[in-house]
């Protein structure tokens, strides 16, 4: 049986921070990133791809807001916006990857699954919303929206006098249709799933599936998906080729190989930024703790070069 890999594409794999966000830019970035996944297909891996959606879902929310203010178009809730972004980004990745594979004479189906991810409605994240979404408002606008819609706002540090909506980011506990995703991937299809961390849902007392106004960390959801479908390897593609300790300090050090114990120790020592690398490290740890063989964090264009990337295993694997 072929090895199965789950590859989580970071936001920069689709949209760079200094770009306007046109579809032409996103398609080119996606093409450049997917060219590096051809290596895994040629090595005989079955493949599941997940992706971020931060800039895209933010734009959807702002279009929501503009449509309501200018034309009276009813706003859609956050779960619908996340699903919209999954469908749109999944379509783009699917189409672009078909073209990339054709270039390399690879024939595979590519399938996008808009994925719902289970959360615990009693997760403590609901008592302390922290994830910023949507546009920046004035204090008066934020107060009006709090009264009208019950939204929660926090002051935006980067914009003096600006306020942004914050929503919970609960921990993922299950993946809907995980058996379907695994079956399709094991049959040799490339599956795109759990985009943007998935649409957060829970089961109510009547056993109905209910949405929540929240977002799920993409890397944690991707890691859980990888574990649940019994993937062998889990990759996070980001904008750095390695994990570092003492990052950007005189004693900065590359860590190409990490075992579970050292990774946990560095995490507890605060070596990884909470806003960037720490969630990726926690996702990698979650995967190997649930039986995965290896997690890798690397820069998208370095995937094929095995001398790059930080490899995290239960024991050192050099």
Can you name the residues that pair with 51 across neighbouring β-strands? 9
Cβ–Cβ < 8 Å for 288, 232: no
**Sheet containing strand 131-137, strands side by side:** 131-137, 163-167, 152-155
- Cβ atoms within 10 A of the Cβ of 153, count? 21
What percentage of the chain reaches a pLDDT higher than 70?
98
pLDDT band at 20 (very low <50, low <70, confident <90, very high): confident
pLDDT of residue 317: 53
Rounded to an integer, what distance in angstroms lies between the CA atom of residue 116 and that of residue 193? Answer: 9
Distances (CA, A) of 219 to 167, 172, 195: 18, 10, 10
pLDDT band at 312 (very low <50, low <70, confident <90, very high): very high
Q: Is the pTM of this model over 0.85?
A: yes
pLDDT of residue 303: 86
Using CB atoms within 10 Å of the CB of residue 180, give its burial: 0 to 12 exposed, 13 to 18 middle, 19+ buried: middle
**Contacts within 8 Å (CB) and 24+ apart, 261-266:** 263/312
Domains and CATH numbers, the chain: 4-121+171-313 (3.40.1160.10), 129-167 (no CATH)
Query: Which sequence positions are flagged as catalytic?
Result: 11-12, 131, 218, 280
pLDDT of residue 306: 83
Rounded to an integer, what distance in angstroms lies between the CA atom of residue 80 and that of residue 86? Answer: 10
Average pLDDT over residues 109-114: 98
User: Strands 199-203 and 116-119, how do they pair?
Assistant: parallel
User: Strands 163-167 and 152-155, how do they pair?
Assistant: antiparallel
Alpha helices in 16-138 (DSSP H): 23-35, 38-42, 54-71, 78-103
User: Strands 131-137 and 294-299, how do they pair?
Assistant: unpaired
Q: What DSSP designation does 76 have? A: P
Task: Tell me the per-residue pLDDT of 159-186, one tens digit each, with 9 for 90 and over.
Answer: 677 999 999 999 999 999 999 999 999 9
- Cβ atoms within 10 A of the Cβ of 118, count? 19
Confidence check: pLDDT of 18 > 90: no
Cβ–Cβ < 8 Å for 247, 200: no
Exposure string for 57-88, b = 16+ CB within 10 A, e = fewer = bbbbbeebbeeeeeeeeeebebbebbbbbbeb
Task: Tell me the per-residue pLDDT of 85-104, one tens digit each, with 9 for 90 and over.
Answer: 999 999 999 999 999 999 99
Residue in the block written with tokens 């672009």? 96
Cβ–Cβ < 8 Å for 300, 281: no
Q: Provide the residue count of the chain.
A: 318
Structure-token pair, residue 259: 């075992």
> At 296, phi and psi to the nearest 5?
-135, 130
Rounded to an integer, what distance in angstroms lies between the CA atom of residue 79 and that of residue 215? Answer: 8
Task: Tell me the per-residue pLDDT of 249-288, one tens digit each, with 9 for 90 and over.
Answer: 999 999 999 999 999 999 999 999 887 899 999 999 999 9
Cβ–Cβ < 8 Å for 241, 309: yes
Rounded to an integer, what distance in angstroms lies between the CA atom of residue 167 and that of residue 151? Answer: 8
Confidence check: pLDDT of 55 > 90: no
- Cβ atoms within 10 A of the Cβ of 158, count? 7
């Amino acid at each position: 049986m072929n090895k199965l890999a789950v590859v989580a594409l970071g936001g920069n794999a689709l949209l760079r921070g200094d770009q306007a966000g046109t579809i032409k830019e996103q398609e080119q970035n996606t093409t450049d990133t997917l060219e590096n996944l051809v290596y895994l297909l040629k090595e005989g891996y079955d493949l599941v791809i997940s992706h971020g959606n931060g800039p895209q879902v933010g734009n959807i929310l702002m279009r929501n807001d503009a449509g309501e203010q200018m034309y009276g178009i009813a706003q859609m809730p956050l779960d619908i916006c996340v699903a919209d972004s999954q469908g749109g980004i999944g379509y783009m990745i699917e189409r672009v990857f078909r073209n990339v594979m054709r270039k390399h004479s690879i024939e595979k189906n590519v399938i996008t699954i808009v994925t719902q991810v289970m959360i615990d409605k009693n997760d403590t994240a609901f008592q302390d919303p922290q994830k910023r979404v949507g546009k920046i408002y004035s204090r008066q606008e934020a107060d009006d929206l709090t009264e009208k819609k019950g939204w929660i706002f926090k002051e935006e540090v980067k914009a003096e006098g600006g306020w942004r909506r914050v929503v919970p980011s609960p921990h993922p506990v299950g993946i809907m249709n995980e058996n379907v995703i695994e079956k399709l991937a094991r049959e040799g299809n490339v599956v795109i799933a759990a985009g943007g961390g998935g649409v957060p849902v829970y089961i109510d007392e009547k056993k109905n599936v209910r949405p929540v106004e929240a977002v799920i960390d993409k890397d944690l959801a991707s890691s859980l998906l990888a574990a649940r479908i019994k993937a062998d390897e889990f990759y996070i593609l980001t904008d750095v080729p390695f994990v570092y300790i003492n990052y950007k300090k005189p004693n900065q050090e590359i860590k190409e190989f990490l075992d579970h114990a050292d990774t946990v120790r560095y995490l507890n020592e605060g070596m990884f930024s909470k806003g960037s690398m720490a969630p990726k490290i926690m996702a990698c740890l979650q995967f190997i703790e649930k039986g995965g063989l290896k997690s890798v964090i690397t820069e998208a264009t370095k995937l094929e070069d095995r001398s790059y990337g930080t490899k995290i295993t239960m024991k050192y694997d050099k």
